[in-house]
């Protein structure tokens, strides 16, 4: 969970460096009345990691609580905690990571359970610590990244009891990013970085055996060189018609190219930019959001671009320093985060602060939602937002609310904010990170 990817680190570090300003607005710790949460229409549920390191499920007002785990805790020589909870797309199960420490030794496992905590199943990861989790779109398989001796490993977990081999190794690399195909037949993998040798982008067909086919070679038909540019996670077009990569163009630019594993030489350049790039498709597949960063003199410039694929019309949010963005389920809005750094007390200690804003595409305007100090878990998620943006949701299914985790006067809290910005965010429950169900 705390792995820092090269591309993400560049984007967030550059933005934070540019934000070392005095006079930053302090977090607003006021909250809306809990009565509003009790009366408002509910949409989906939130799974979250409590401050006691147990996993719980609740609605957006903190009601209808379900205790998924209750055995996290610490003794003199042992500790157990749970983290990284996410929903299966069908909303029937949750998955999370369990960590046990005993006399200096650490063991990890991946756990899945029904949303009421029943039918829990744990899977050993062979001494390697599990990190990011990502369900297949059909909710039948769970993929996860591990860390340990020998580099990062990429594993596939099938929680079906009939599975002959419950855990299957798919790939290895450091860093490693992946995206499930919409039909759940396999994953697009980006292994390595511009600073490592053996970098590759591949499609892994998942079945009785893992079949790998290269994706970079298929970009040759676009006129681009078959070299990856500086990006992180591949992103499938929601209808499955292809997967987006970033390739190095001959003139020093970066092409965003859509290719299909079975259609060699038919790649399509969707957009061209410069510098490092991170991207996410809108859920309806009609638009592409991409965040760029490049160096200009002694400073870095980052921009968020929202592009209509059919017309080529593009809106650029001119605010410098944007480090992450997330599409609403209805594709009508984008939540994005801008960092700054504030001094704590009168000493030299500084804290990262994030401002959450929402851009309404129809109105072509953005609204400030809240400025807050993120929990360490939420800040780590932000650094890998393109991976989490495909594996989990911070938006409610009805596109009306956003969940985030902040350090408030009352401690670490799961917060719910109205995307329209017309209500003060509300504390849902004490917690460190949470995600909304898909439906």
Q: What is the pLDDT of residues 42-76, one digit of tens each?
A: 899 999 999 999 999 999 999 999 999 999 999 88
pTM: 0.87
| pLDDT of amino acid 25 | 36
**How much is the average pLDDT of 17-32?**
39
Rg of the chain taking only CA atoms, in angstroms? 21
- What is the DSSP secondary-structure string of 73-134? EE-SSEEEEEEEEEE-TTSSEEEEEEEEEETTEEEEEEEEEETTS-S-EEEE-TTPEEEEEE
Q: What is the pLDDT of residues 167-183, one digit of tens each?
A: 878 888 888 899 999 99
Q: Does position 3 have pLDDT exceeding 60, yes or no?
A: no
Token pair in block for residue 120 = 């829990």
Q: What angle do CA 236, 242, 244 make, to 5 degrees?
A: 55
d(CA 394, CA 435): 5
Q: Does position 151 have pLDDT exceeding 70, yes or no?
A: no
Q: Does position 197 have pLDDT exceeding 70, yes or no?
A: no
Place of tokens 């040798």: 197
Which residue from 361, 93, 370, 99 is spatially nearest to 378, judged by alpha carbons? 370
Q: What angle do CA 408, 334, 316 make, to 5 degrees?
A: 120
Q: CB neighbours of 4 closer than 8 A, spacing ≥ 6?
A: 383
Please provide residue 10's backbone torsions phi and psi, each rounded to the nearest 5 degrees. Answer: -60, -45
| 199-212 per-residue burial string, b: 16 or more CB within 10 A, e: under 16 | eebbbbebeeeeee
Contact 295, 280 (CB under 8 A): no
What's the fold here for domain 6-436?
Methylamine Dehydrogenase; Chain H (2.130.10)
Residue 25 CB: number of other CB atoms within 10 A? Answer: 11
| pLDDT of amino acid 150 | 54
Q: What is the pLDDT of residues 77-113, one digit of tens each?
A: 899 999 999 999 999 999 999 999 988 788 889 999 9
Q: What is the pLDDT of residues 291-334, one digit of tens each?
A: 998 766 555 668 899 999 999 999 998 667 899 999 999 999 99
Percent of the chain with pLDDT over 70: 78
């Amino acid at each position: 969970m705390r792995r820092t990817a090269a591309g993400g680190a560049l984007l967030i570090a550059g933005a934070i460096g540019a934000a070392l300003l005095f006079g930053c607005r302090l977090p607003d710790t006021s909250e809306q009345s809990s009565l509003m949460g009790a009366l408002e229409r509910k949409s989906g549920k939130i799974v979250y990691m409590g401050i006691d390191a147990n996993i719980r499920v609740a609605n957006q007002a903190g009601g209808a609580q379900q205790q998924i785990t209750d055995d996290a805790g610490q003794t003199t020589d042992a500790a157990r905690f749970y983290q990284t909870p996410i929903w299966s797309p069908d909303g029937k199960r949750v998955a999370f990571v369990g960590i046990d420490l005993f006399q200096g030794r650490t063991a990890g496992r991946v756990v899945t359970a029904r949303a009421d905590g029943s039918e829990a199943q744990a899977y050993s990861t062979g001494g390697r610590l599990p990190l990011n989790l990502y369900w297949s779109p059909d909710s039948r398989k769970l993929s996860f990244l591990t860390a340990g001796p020998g580099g990062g490993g990429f594993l596939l977990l099938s929680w079906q009891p009939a599975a002959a081999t419950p855990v299957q190794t798919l790939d290895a690399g450091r860093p490693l990013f992946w995206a499930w195909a919409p039909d759940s037949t396999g994953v697009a993998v980006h292994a390595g970085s511009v600073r490592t040798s053996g970098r590759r982008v591949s499609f892994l067909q998942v079945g009785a055996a893992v079949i790998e086919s290269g994706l970079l070679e298929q970009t040759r038909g676009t006129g681009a060189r078959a070299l990856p540019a500086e990006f992180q996670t591949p992103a499938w077009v929601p209808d499955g018609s292809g997967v987006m990569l970033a390739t190095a163009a001959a003139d020093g630019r970066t092409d965003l190219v859509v290719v299909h594993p079975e259609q060699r030489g038919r790649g399509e350049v969707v957009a061209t930019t410069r510098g490092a790039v991170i991207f996410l498709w809108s859920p309806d597949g009609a638009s592409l959001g991409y965040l760029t960063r490049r160096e200009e003199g002694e400073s870095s410039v980052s921009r968020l671009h929202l592009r209509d694929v059919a017309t080529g019309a593009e809106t650029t949010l001119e605010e410098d320093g944007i480090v992450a963005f997330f599409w609403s389920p209805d594709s009508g809005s984008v939540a994005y985060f801008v960092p700054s750094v504030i001094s704590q007390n009168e000493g030299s200690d500084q804290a990262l602060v994030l401002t959450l804003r929402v851009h309404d595409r129809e109105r072509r305007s953005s609204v400030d939602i809240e400025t807050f100090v993120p929990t360490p878990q939420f800040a780590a998620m932000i650094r890998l937002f393109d991976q989490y943006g495909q594996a989990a949701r911070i938006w409610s299914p009805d596109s009306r609310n956003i969940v985030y985790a902040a350090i408030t006067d009352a401690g670490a809290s799961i917060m719910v904010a109205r995307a329209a910005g017309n209500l003060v965010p509300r504390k849902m429950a004490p917690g460190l990170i949470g995600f909304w169900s898909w439906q």
